[in-house]
């Protein structure tokens, strides 16, 4: 039995990965691959209020979820440190009856 995890990347995270500058893309890709070998490396941090973790790679943050039972790491979001935790635009502008809480900030 192997201890490595399968790596799944959400479509939105794939788009974010493709938008990275070339010189950062290689380092972020290497970090993604290392998460399949060790999903909780030193320096990873569990996000409060979520079943997700984040790891730093230069100025970029990789947000991911771990399913230990299935041995799967799901990459949820990849972004610059100043933008990765922000709510999506217009996520709070909904009719009152349809309002749900934002998964990023809880508003």
All structural domains of the chain with their residue ranges: 6-93
Counting Cβ atoms within 10 Å, is residue 44 exposed (0-12), middle (13-18) or buried (19+)?
middle
Q: Tell me the mean pLDDT per 10 residues along the chain, length 107.
A: 84 92 92 94 89 91 93 93 68 50 53
pTM reported for the whole predicted model: 0.77
Superfamily of domain 6-93: RelE-like (3.30.2310.20)
**pLDDT at position 1, please?**
43
């Amino acid at each position: 039995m192997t201890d490595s995890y399968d790596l799944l990347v959400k479509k939105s995270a794939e788009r974010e990965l493709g938008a990275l500058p070339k010189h950062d893309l290689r380092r972020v890709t290497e970090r993604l691959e290392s998460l399949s070998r060790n999903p909780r490396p030193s320096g990873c941090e569990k996000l409060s209020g979520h079943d997700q973790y984040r790891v730093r790679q230069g100025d970029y943050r990789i947000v991911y979820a771990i399913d230990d039972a299935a041995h799967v790491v799901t990459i949820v979001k990849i972004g610059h440190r100043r933008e990765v935790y922000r709510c999506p635009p217009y996520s709070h502008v909904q009719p009152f009856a349809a309002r749900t809480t934002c998964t990023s900030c809880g508003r």
